[in-house]
Amino acid sequence: MTADSAELLALRRVMRKNYFVCAALFLVGVSLHWMELGVFVPKLALLNVAWSVSFVVLGLAEGAGWLPSKWLGTLGVLICLAAVTAYLHFTGGPSSAYFPMLWTLPLFVAMYSPDSWGPTVLAGAMTVGAVLVLDLLAGLPPRVMLVQGWGIGLIGLLAVFGARTYRRMRDAEKSAQQERLVALEQLAESERRRLRAERERAEVERLVLVGQLASGVAHEVNNPLAFVKSNLGFLEQELRREEGPEDRAELCEVIAETRQGVLRIQQIVADLRRFSREETRDEAGKPEDAMHEAKRLASVRLHSLGEVSLDVTSGLPPVRLGQRQLVQVLVNLLLNAADAVETAVPARRAHIVMRARGVDGGLRIEVEDNGSGIPPEVLPRLFEPFFTTKPPGKGTGLGLALCLEYVSRAGGTLHAENRSEGGARFVLRLPVEAPARAELNPPLQARR
Ligand code: ADP
């Protein structure tokens, strides 16, 4: 069923009910003459019944869609006019107590068909005609007829004007509603575009990190590959000896070492694959796992520069930042630390520490290095998008801006400082996930 036909059916239902209610009221109208005249007049009662029945038929016709609503409405007006005129004729013509009923007819029509002024004008004209007929039959002077005609004309005009006002108000409301819908749709579209752009930017930055790691991967994979290869050569040689391997314990050692090398390669490839894969869902960040993963990922670059040590309180609860985003933030900080140590003068071995503690109902993670430190003029601009001190092709200036965005969105903070011993320290504060919050820090719950 189309929206149009559903709307038409709903309208028909309303109109049908309307005809039935009118029919019931016309029946109740039998009591009117009874009250006024003090006697029951079968002729008048019959008129009411006929009037009522004709409206029931109109209601049925409306519900079944036998005739367009417009025609049924006009038919209804004609029936009302005929019934009222006959009623008046039987009860004293222009001097009948029911005479004002005629005057209300145009208003009645305007009320039921506000969308078109035709039926109201027609009802007004026909009412004037009916009054004239009654007046003529009663032999009233033309002056009275003129005044009555004029009065009904005025009521008709009033009804037409009222219907027009109603129509205009409804059209204005409709177009305002339409404008609101269009504005809402535009808002939703721009929000969708913003989210898409944000996702793409995050994706690009992550791939930039993968690119930075990739150069180290070759070296990191080559190392274990080299000894896996030489170990396999040695094993083959030993197994080919006619008298069998000389030292079985040594063989087992070589196999264990080879397995270690293969596992290391597998780990590097798996980490890098997981990190570079596009995913929309991100589970709550587990600080300890994230730190280990970030260290493993960054080690392909940091391995040759120095060491990264971890200082983590075990059993830290999950944080509100997603796991992948947390890993991305930490890898970013570690690679920046690597750059800072690499460019430091005099040259030194990197010593980078990643520390995590639960503090004040949240989590504090620090990444500190023994690099060049942050120059005072650079410090206020660190988190600005596209701010970089690195040569073109090495830095995008987006890493820290994106880290700050992720962290702030999770309700955390990120700031940088210089260490008194030299080098820089980045401090990350993150709120923990709500359910674990109570376990980690009961006093905070009490304070709430
Ligand atoms: P990019 O690394 O691409 O330059 P970032 O937003 O990650 O972009 O970093 C912005 C700038 O902050 C870097 O160019 C560098 O000057 C400075 N910076 C970041 N981390 C450190 C650090 N550990 N030590 C010194 N300076 C740093």
Q: Quickly list DSSP for 238-286.
A: HHH-TT--S-HHHHHHHHHHHHHHHHHHHHHHHHHHHHHS--S--PEE-
Task: Calculate the average pLDDT of the chain.
Answer: 85
Least confident among 54-63, 198-207, 345-354: 198-207
Summarize the confidence of residues 234-250 as an average pLDDT: 77
pLDDT band at 436 (very low <50, low <70, confident <90, very high): very low
Written as six digits, the tokens of 28 are 């109740």
What integer pLDDT is reported at residue 160 of this predicted model?
78
Ligand 1, CB within 6 Å, residue ranges: 332, 336-337, 340, 369, 371-372, 374, 378, 382, 387-390, 395-397, 399-401, 424
**Could you tell me the distance, in angstroms and rounded to a whole number, from the CA of residue 363 to the centre of ligand 1?**
23
In angstroms, the CA 312 to CA 325 distance is: 19
Q: DSSP code of 94? A: G
Summarize the confidence of residues 408-434 as an average pLDDT: 94
Q: Are 83 and 51 in contact (CB under 8 A)?
A: yes
In angstroms, the CA 30 to CA 28 distance is: 5
Beta bridge partners of 356: 312, 365
pLDDT band at 21 (very low <50, low <70, confident <90, very high): very high
pLDDT band at 448 (very low <50, low <70, confident <90, very high): very low
Residue of minimum CA distance from atom 20 in ligand 1: 336
What integer pLDDT is reported at residue 2 of this predicted model?
60
What integer pLDDT is reported at residue 443 of this predicted model?
37
Cross-sheet strand order for the sheet of 306-312:
306-312, 350-359, 362-368, 424-431, 413-418
Please identify which residue in the block is written with the tokens 């050569």: 233
Query: Helix (H, G, I), strand (E, B), or coil: what is residue 114?
Result: coil
Single pTM value for the model: 0.58
Ligand 1 atom nearest 401 alpha carbon? 6
What integer pLDDT is reported at residue 402 of this predicted model?
86
**Could you tell me the distance, in angstroms and rounded to a whole number, from the CA of residue 388 to the centre of ligand 1?**
6
Written as six digits, the tokens of 372 are 């060049």
The DSSP element (H or E) to which 427 belongs, if any, is strand 424-431
Q: Are 318 and 430 in contact (CB under 8 A)?
A: no
What integer pLDDT is reported at residue 4 of this predicted model?
61
Summarize the confidence of residues 64-77 as an average pLDDT: 85
Q: What residue ranges do the domains of the chain occupy?
A: 3-182, 205-447
pLDDT tens digits along 258-270:
988 888 888 788 7
pLDDT reading at 29 higher than 60? yes
What integer pLDDT is reported at residue 196 of this predicted model?
92
The class (CATH top level) of 205-447 is alpha beta
pLDDT tens digits along 370-401:
999 999 999 999 999 889 998 877 787 888 98
**Could you tell me the distance, in angstroms and rounded to a whole number, from the CA of residue 358 to the centre of ligand 1?**
26
Mutating to test ligand 1, I would choose from 331, 333, 400 the residue with most ligand atoms within 8 A of its C-beta, which is 400
What integer pLDDT is reported at residue 188 of this predicted model?
96
The DSSP element (H or E) to which 173 belongs, if any, is helix 142-240
**Could you tell me the distance, in angstroms and rounded to a whole number, from the CA of residue 261 to the centre of ligand 1?**
33
In degrees and rounded to multiples of 5, residue 413 shows phi and psi of: -135, 160
Least confident among 40-44, 211-215, 231-235, 302-306: 211-215
Instruction: Please state, in angstroms and as integers, the Cα–Cα distance from residue 373 to each residue in 365, 367, 369, 376, following that order.
Output: 18, 13, 8, 9
In degrees and rounded to multiples of 5, residue 316 shows phi and psi of: -70, 140
Mutating to test ligand 1, I would choose from 388, 415, 419 the residue with most ligand atoms within 8 A of its C-beta, which is 388
What integer pLDDT is reported at residue 119 of this predicted model?
76
Helices (H) and strands (E) in the chain, counts: 13, 7
What integer pLDDT is reported at residue 210 of this predicted model?
81
Instruction: Please state, in angstroms and as integers, the Cα–Cα distance from residue 230 to each residue in 235, 254, 379, 405, following that order.
Output: 9, 10, 49, 47
**Could you tell me the distance, in angstroms and rounded to a whole number, from the CA of residue 382 to the centre of ligand 1?**
7
pLDDT reading at 3 higher than 70? no
What integer pLDDT is reported at residue 1 of this predicted model?
53
